[in-house]
Structure 1
Amino acid sequence: MNSSLIGNVFRNIPILYLRSQNCINAAAAPVIRRYIHTTNQMQDLMDFFDNKKNWNENNIRVGRSWRLDELRIKSNSDLHKLWFVLLKERNMLYTMEEEYKQKMHSFPNPERIDKVQESMDNIETVIRERNVAYYKLETGETGERPVEDVVNLIGLEEKYQPSEYHLPQFMNTRWVKPYLDHGFINSMAVKKFRRLYSEKLRNEERKARNRDFNHVQHLLKRFPNIDMETLKAQYPTVDLEKAKRSKKSRGHFAPRF
Structure 2
Amino acid sequence: VKYDLMEFFDDKKNWGAQEVKSGRSWKKEELRLKSNSDLHKLWYVLLKERNMLLTMEQEANDKIKLFPSPERIDKVEESMENLESVVRERNIAYHELETGETGERPGKVETNAFGLTYYHKMCEYIMPKHMNKKWHEKYKFYKNMYDRDTEQFLLKYREKLYLQKRRKRTRDFNHVIGLLNRFPDMDMEA
2:2 paired with 1:41? yes
Which stretch of structure 1 is more off in the superposition, 135-144 or 154-163?
154-163
* Residue aligned with 1:74, SS: coil
Q: CA deviation at 1:159?
A: 1.4
* Residue aligned with 1:159, SS: strand
* Residue aligned with 2:110, SS: strand
Q: Write out per-residue CA displacement over residues 205-225 of structure 1, whole angstroms, 9 at most, x where no aligned residue.
A: 88689988xxxxxxxxxxxxx
Matches for 1:40-189 after TM superposition, within 5 Å = 40-42=1-3, 44-177=4-137, 183-187=140-144
2 CA distance for matches of 1:108 and 1:77? 32
Question: Which residue of 2 is the match for residue 191 of structure 1?
Answer: 147
Runs of 5+ unmatched residues, structure 2: 170-190
Q: Percent identity?
A: 52
Question: Contact between 1:65 and 1:118, CA under 8 Å: does it hold in 2?
Answer: yes
> What is the RMSD of the two structures over their aligned residues, measured on CA atoms?
2.8
**Residue type of the partner of 1:185?**
Y
Q: CA deviation at 1:201?
A: 4.8
2:156 paired with 1:200? yes
2 CA distance for matches of 1:122 and 1:148? 25
Query: TM-score when scaled to structure 2?
Result: 0.78
2 CA distance for matches of 1:135 and 1:47? 37
Against the structure 1 CA distance between its residues 192 and 186, is the aligned structure 2 distance closer, same or farther, given a 3 Å change threshold? farther
1 CA distance for matches of 2:67 and 2:161? 43
Question: Contact between 2:92 and 2:103, CA under 8 Å: does it hold in 1?
Answer: yes
Against the structure 1 CA distance between its residues 172 and 186, is the aligned structure 2 distance closer, same or farther, given a 3 Å change threshold? closer
Question: Contact between 2:115 and 2:154, CA under 8 Å: does it hold in 1?
Answer: no
* Residue aligned with 2:42, SS: helix
Question: Contact between 1:57 and 1:108, CA under 8 Å: does it hold in 2?
Answer: yes
**Residue type of the partner of 1:170?**
H
Runs of 5+ unmatched residues, structure 1: 1-39, 213-257
Q: Write out per-residue CA displacement over residues 58-117 of structure 1, whole angstroms, 9 at most, x where no aligned residue.
A: 011100000000000000000000000011111111111111111110000001001001
2 CA distance for matches of 1:209 and 1:69? 34
Q: How many residues align?
A: 170
